[in-house]
Structure 1
Amino acid sequence: MVELTVPYESRMEEAHAFNFKEGKYMDLIKELKKDGYEAKVMPVEIGARGFVGSSAYGLLSKLSICGKKRTKALRLLAETAENSSRWIWSRRNERLLHKD
């Protein structure tokens, strides 16, 4: 299982530590293991301004995505996080829930 967190860059290490310490998936992992599955939580952090944490590099390595494909994937992850953050910021004053 991959848990993606998009923190502000100055909080990357804190976000990674929180994801590991939280243990919010422990019950699910125990249940899956009881049913015969292997399960592991892999927290990944990609900063809101496009900085890709080492956890993303590690995830791609574990998925056997290497070389040019990994470089391209990391670039796309960074661009997607940055574009998404920009989109959210551009709509920060819009009401999300309209009460008509």
Structure 2
Amino acid sequence: MCVDLGKKLAFAELVETALRPVLVSSSKKKLVMAELTVPWETRCKLAHERKRTKYAELADECGIKGWQAWIFPVEVGCQGFPSQSCWRMLGALGITGKSRKTTIKELGKEAERAFHWLWIHRGESS
């Protein structure tokens, strides 16, 4: 996986941990941990704290080894409401203005579409 966000950041490596894949820049000793959760809108804050706690130990270990680590637990409510964490993550990664607004809108649409699909197929056993 390679990421180049408007020529601002470039992560050329993907490291797999026991938790999730992590984006890494070895030359700059930086890593980004992002995990999406799609809870009910009323449970976004709880989901955020649970994911932050899950990655805290890994971030601490990275800091001890001289790496700069960011944890981005992000939530998009299952009915299409992107939480503040989505805005914060995109801004921190250098995605701002119209690009960020468009991305947030698309996140919401996709979550709503997936929720609708699940609702339609709720009676199926497979």
- Using structure 2 for the length normalisation, give the TM-score: 0.64
Higher relative contact order (CA 8 A, sep 6+): 1
- CA shift, 1:83, in A, is 0.4
Instruction: Please give the alpha-carbon distance, in whole angstroms, between the structure 2 residues aligned to 1:83 and 1:2.
Output: 22
* 1:3-42 equivalence runs, <5 A: 3-20=35-52, 23-26=53-56, 28-29=58-59, 37-42=67-72
1:51 counterpart residue number: 81
Task: Check if 1:64 corresponds to 2:73.
Answer: no
What amino acid does structure 2 have at the position aligned with 1:69?
S
- Using structure 1 for the length normalisation, give the TM-score: 0.79
% identical equivalent positions: 38
Unaligned ranges ≥5, structure 1: none
Instruction: Please give the alpha-carbon distance, in whole angstroms, between the structure 2 residues aligned to 1:12 and 1:34.
Output: 30
More helix by share: 1
Count of residue pairs the alignment pairs up: 94
- CA shift, 1:11, in A, is 1.2
More strand by share: 2
Unaligned ranges ≥5, structure 2: 1-32
1:2 counterpart residue number: 34
In structure 2, the CA distance between the partners of 1:26 and 1:13, relative to structure 1 (3 Å rule), is closer
